[in-house]
Structure 1
């Protein structure tokens, strides 16, 4: 199915399949399998070996990398992460995405914008994707704490990585990968100057985390607080569109 053109008129063929495992996670899963087999076959310690084997399956599941169908419409901003919309607020973008970094490329403008925070539990897919098509203008890594990523202050205090993407028309969108309680490494797949498509894989965060997305000025969220997002598929907003959307949990 990868690379196949699908539409809302029924064109294309789809079939369910097991998701692949990202190469970043295969080594951890294989190490865990090897240790579990050591306890089971050589040491005959089943009380340790079987739980480790179950843990191995969990590691493979954590690094699963399913295919996604990405809507291709220039005005749409798609979710960079799987997970729960835990915060929607009006905030100033991070200084690292605004200040003059000496590259001659503008950052985000001053002034409050809508920030959508997506919390990823250990059960979510942790591959992150580009919210729009464009050029990676900035990639800024900042060391920090490992507090609960669901807290608002995690945006400023946790280990994080800011990414700025610029479309061909000059529209810029920033988003931030934030480490959580269990996360201990943010792994980028891109670098400044790379051209990415909407929904393209740009990195991952190991073992529980959060992604903040800063919508452009004049753009409201199309997702609701408490809604679940799918990376590369869920539309977070439409550039230049403002509208109150209400929903009821049930």
Structure 2
């Protein structure tokens, strides 16, 4: 992690590192434009602040209960389906949601895979073919799927890293989906959410392991 810039001390919310980099261009353009064309400068300032707000990174308090699976992202449950002997739960992240992804369960990262693909809307049934990053933790797998506008997936873990339930494991820019392929011992009756429900990353329990 890099040291936060001075502006971080006055913002009412923390921001992921990549948010500062993305906001830098409109912020510099605003500084140059404000004296010459104030309306344009104000618009660029608002854009920079909007980018920072989109990349906000609030703290979360994971539940203490053992054996629970927490949501990997903020948003709405958009996918629940069986895949072989496993269940997949997908969370659609709208543009207004926090886009920091968190580990649904403790584990050790075995592999981080990037797969290029299409960029259909993340709520579309065909979005499984979109560009995605898979974080394989052995008994479960987290897949961050790009949407039509989200082209930047930023995992923050590497193979061999140990992660705890609710720990930050990456973020994605500008709308997408995060799916967790649950451990094989989790069955449909163990789920605690349904499609259409709102969840919070690292806090909402989506399943309980038997």
Alignment TM-score, normalising by the size of structure 1 = 0.75
Deviations 1:195-247 (A, max 9, x none): 1111111111111100111122343321121111110001110112xxxxxxx
Task: Tell me whether 1:149 sits opposite 2:119 in the alignment.
Answer: no
Q: Aligned equivalents of 1:146 and 1:214: distance in 2?
A: 21
The correspondence for 2:187, drawn from 189, 203, 219, is 219
- For 1:123, the equivalent position in structure 2 comes to 96
- For 1:62, the equivalent position in structure 2 comes to 54
Q: Aligned equivalents of 1:114 and 1:184: distance in 2?
A: 26
Q: Aligned equivalents of 1:22 and 1:175: distance in 2?
A: 20
**What is the 5 A alignment of 1:91-170?**
92=83, 111-155=84-128, 157-166=129-138
For the aligned residues, what is the CA RMSD?
A: 1.5
Deviations 1:129-173 (A, max 9, x none): 111111011211101111101112211x1000111224xxxxx11
Q: Aligned equivalents of 2:13 and 2:193: distance in 1?
A: 26
The correspondence for 2:42, drawn from 43, 50, 57, is 50
Larger relative contact order (Cα-Cα within 8 Å, sequence gap ≥ 6)? 2
- For 1:107, the equivalent position in structure 2 comes to none
Deviations 1:71-125 (A, max 9, x none): 13331111110111112222x2xxxxxxxxxxxxxxxxxx242211101111111
What 5-or-longer segments of structure 1 have no aligned partner?
1-16, 93-110, 167-171, 241-250
- For 1:186, the equivalent position in structure 2 comes to 153
**Paired residues of 1:132 and 1:165 also in contact (CA < 8 A):** no
The correspondence for 1:177, drawn from 116, 123, 144, is 144
- By how many angstroms is 1:30 displaced? 2.9
Alignment TM-score, normalising by the size of structure 2 = 0.88
Q: Which has the larger radius of gyration?
A: 1
What 5-or-longer segments of structure 2 have no aligned partner?
1-10
**Paired residues of 1:84 and 1:120 also in contact (CA < 8 A):** yes
Q: Aligned equivalents of 1:76 and 1:184: distance in 2?
A: 31
Deviations 1:14-67 (A, max 9, x none): xxx9321111111222332111121112xx223322221111111010110000
- By how many angstroms is 1:177 displaced? 0.3
